[in-house]
Structure 1
Amino acid sequence: MQPTILLVDDLQMFLEIERDFFRHADVKIVTARDGVEALEAVQSYSPRVVFMDLQMPNMDGASCCKAIRATQSHGDTPVVIISSSTSEADREESFAAGCNYFLTKPAGRDRFLEIAREFIPDIDRREKRVPCCLPATLSCNGVSAPCALHDLGVEGAYLVTDLIAKAGNVIHVSFTLPDGTAVDTPCKAVWIDESGKTRPRGIGVRFALLPKPLRGALARALEKL
């Protein structure tokens, strides 16, 4: 069953922009125009995560978040509150209401997906990933440490590591495929999972500058893993 994401905003333009962020994701998108509709949608669709505007008519985002937290069946639903204001008071109000994250408009696609991946790990995956357990070495900010590949694809991998990195960091990873092919390549950190809730703590990376012969070796190895 597809996981559901609930998008809440009183302006259709922002709903369409946010919906487009998830156009490649295997998720069901549900929308609401205010907190009252959002609360009904949470009860009806049990979304895996809610992205909700703060300033809305009828019931604002903070009030809706409080109402969600007060429900027995959906009180732990992740809520991301989004505001066009940079007011510290709005941020404090949102976190006091129980939101998981607070974003300031305009927030881009990468940030939306980074947060969504915490609750839906496979979101926006356009390539096949194969579970594996291959030893590797990761270098970031001048620090090298052993790690392990949790899954692997032609375009990237998920690295199990306690090494600290940020989305957007350029890192370096080295590992050896089962057929003996050595892979030594720069990568871009595209998301970080520090929670360890759905998989071990680690970093999702996208390979960069991978030569065509190595891409071919990866594709062949994936067929056998």
Structure 2
Amino acid sequence: MEQPLKVMVIDDSRTIRRTAQTLLGEVGCEVITASDGFDALAKIVDHAPRIIFVDVLMPRLDGYQTCAIIKHNALFKDTPVVLLSSRDGLFDKARGRVVGSDQFLTKPFTKEELLEAIRVHVPGFAEHAHHAP
């Protein structure tokens, strides 16, 4: 049995964290959640997720800053980071590219969009999806 795919979801909304956990858990992913960037950084080191979803608007350390820190770390710079935002303006997307994010997803997202983002950025993920009932 292969290891489940580790996905990290960083969002200060408990609802979003729970939703992502449920949706991704259904397809066999192991979901690590964090409520803000600081909380996330320690967990990234511990868990080494294969892909990270991070909300743009968070207190203390926002999604852009969190993404920049991940991308500047030699160990994690190749980890795909997908920004989540309820705003999908050009400015937001441009800022996302500046900090090195791999994709920008607008909230509310669907299960399909989450899975599609994982498929695009994590090689070999598609096979995992077939094990789910």
TM-score (norm: length of structure 1): 0.54
Q: In structure 2, which of residues 115, 123, 127 is the aligned counterpart of residue 122 of structure 1?
A: 127
Q: What is the deviation of 1:42?
A: 1.4
- The answer to whether 1:9 aligns with 2:11 is yes
Q: 1:75 aligns with which of 69, 74, 77?
A: 77
Separation in 2 of the partners of 1:6 and 1:67? 15
Identity %: 28
Structure 2 distance, partners of 1:27, 1:87, is 30
Shift of 1:101: 0.4
Counterparts of residues 45-56 of structure 1 (less than 5 Å): 45-56=47-58
The offset of 1:2, in angstroms, is: 2.1
How do residues 183-222 of structure 1 correspond to structure 2 at under 5 angstroms? Answer: none
Q: CA RMSD in A?
A: 1.6
1:38 Cα deviation from its structure 2 partner: 1.5
Instruction: Give the corresponding residue for 1:104.
Output: 106
2:129 partner SS: coil
AA aligned opposite 2:97: F
Counterpart Cα distance in 2 of 1:41 and 1:20: 19
Match of 1:99, SS?
Answer: coil
In the TM superposition, residue 24 of structure 1 has moved relative to its aligned partner by: 2.0
**Greater percentage in strand:** 1
Aligned length: 128
Unaligned runs of 5+ in 1: 128-225
1:40 maps to 42
Q: 2: CA distance between counterparts of 1:21 and 1:57?
A: 25
Distance 2:26 2:88 in 1: 30
Runs of 4+ with deviation above 6 angstroms: none
**CA drift at 1:19:** 1.3
SS of the residue corresponding to residue 53 of structure 2 reads strand
1:95, distance to aligned residue in structure 2 (A): 1.2
Shift of 1:97: 0.5
Tell me by how many angstroms 1:83 deviates.
0.3
Greater helix fraction, Structure 1 or Structure 2: 2
Following TM superposition, by how much is the alpha carbon of 1:60 offset from its aligned partner in structure 2, in angstroms? Answer: 0.5
Q: Which runs of 5+ in 2 are unaligned?
A: none
| d(CA) in 2 for partners of 1:4, 1:15 | 14
* Cα displacement string for residues 185-222 of structure 1 (whole angstroms, at most 9, x for unaligned residues): xxxxxxxxxxxxxxxxxxxxxxxxxxxxxxxxxxxxxx
CA contact (8 A) 1:24 1:126 kept: no
Q: Is the 8 A contact 2:28 2:131 kept in 1?
A: no
